[in-house]
Homo-oligomer: A and B are copies of this chain.
Amino acid sequence: MAVQLEIIKEDSRTRARLGKLHTPRGIINTPVFMPVGTQATVKTLTPEELKELGAGIILSNTYHLFLRPGHDLIREAGGLHSFMNWDGAILTDSGGFQVFSLGDLRKITEEGVEFRSHLDGSKKFLSPELAIEIQMALGSDIVMAFDECTPYPATREYAKESLERTTRWLKRCKDTLTTTDKQALFGIVQGSMYEDLRKQSAAEVTELDLPGYAVGGLSVGEPKELMYEVLDYTVPLLPKDRPRYLMGVGSPDALIEGVMRGIDMFDCVLPTRIARNGTAMTRYGRVVVRNAQYARDFEPIDPTCDCYTCSNYSRAYIRHLLKAEEILALRLMTIHNLHFLVNMMREIREAIKEGRLPEYRQKFFQDYGYEN
Contact partner of A327 (CB less than 8 A), chosen from B83, B314, B320, B327, is B327
The distance in angstroms between the C-alpha atoms of A131 and B344, with both chains bound, is 47
- A316 at the binding interface (Cβ < 8 Å): yes
Contact partner of A41 (CB less than 8 A), chosen from B41, B45, B321, is B321
* Residue picked from A313, A320, A330, most chain B C-beta under 10 Å: A320
Q: Given the complex, which residues of B lie within 8 Å of A313, measured CB to CB?
A: 85
Q: How far is the CB of A216 from chain B (nearest CB, A)?
A: 26
Q: Given the complex, which residues of B lie within 8 Å of A330, measured CB to CB?
A: 327
Contact partner of A317 (CB less than 8 A), chosen from B40, B45, B64, B314, is B40
Q: Given the complex, which residues of B lie within 8 Å of A356, measured CB to CB?
A: none
* B326–A39 touching, CB < 8 Å: yes
A41/B77 contact (C-beta < 8 A), A69-B295, A320-B68 known:
no
* B84–A317 touching, CB < 8 Å: yes
Q: Given the complex, which residues of B lie within 8 Å of A331, measured CB to CB?
A: 44, 46, 327, 331
* A323–B44 touching, CB < 8 Å: no
* B46–A317 touching, CB < 8 Å: no
A77/B44 contact (C-beta < 8 A), A68-B323, A69-B295, A326-B39 known:
no
A296/B73 contact (C-beta < 8 A), A84-B317, A326-B41, A328-B46 known:
yes
Q: How far is the CB of A25 from chain B (nearest CB, A)?
A: 17
Q: Given the complex, which residues of B lie within 8 Å of A78, measured CB to CB?
A: 298
Q: How far is the CB of A142 from chain B (nearest CB, A)?
A: 22
Contact partner of A316 (CB less than 8 A), chosen from B68, B77, B298, B317, is B77
The distance in angstroms between the C-alpha atoms of A76 and B45, with both chains bound, is 31
Contact partner of A298 (CB less than 8 A), chosen from B39, B77, B298, B327, is B77
* B328–A41 touching, CB < 8 Å: yes
Contact partner of A76 (CB less than 8 A), chosen from B69, B298, B328, is B298
Q: Given the complex, which residues of B lie within 8 Å of A45, measured CB to CB?
A: 328
Q: Given the complex, which residues of B lie within 8 Å of A41, measured CB to CB?
A: 321, 326, 328
Q: How far is the CB of A334 from chain B (nearest CB, A)?
A: 9
The distance in angstroms between the C-alpha atoms of A43 and B327, with both chains bound, is 7
Contact partner of A83 (CB less than 8 A), chosen from B76, B77, B317, is B317
The distance in angstroms between the C-alpha atoms of A319 and B77, with both chains bound, is 13
- A312 at the binding interface (Cβ < 8 Å): yes
Q: How far is the CB of A90 from chain B (nearest CB, A)?
A: 15
Within A143-169, the residues touching B (CB, 8 Å) are none
The distance in angstroms between the C-alpha atoms of A76 and B317, with both chains bound, is 12
The distance in angstroms between the C-alpha atoms of A58 and B46, with both chains bound, is 24
A-B contact pairs, 9 of them (CB 8 A): A44-B328, A68-B324, A69-B319, A73-B320, A83-B316, A83-B317, A83-B320, A327-B330, A327-B331
Q: Which 6 A-B pairs have the closest CB atoms?
A: A69-B320, A39-B324, A44-B327, A41-B328, A85-B312, A41-B326
- Beyond A39-B320, A73-B316, 18 additional contacts (C-beta under 8 Å) are A39-B321, A40-B320, A40-B321, A43-B327, A44-B331, A64-B324, A68-B320, A68-B323, A68-B324, A69-B319, A77-B317, A83-B317, A84-B317, A85-B313, A85-B317, A327-B327, A327-B330, A327-B331
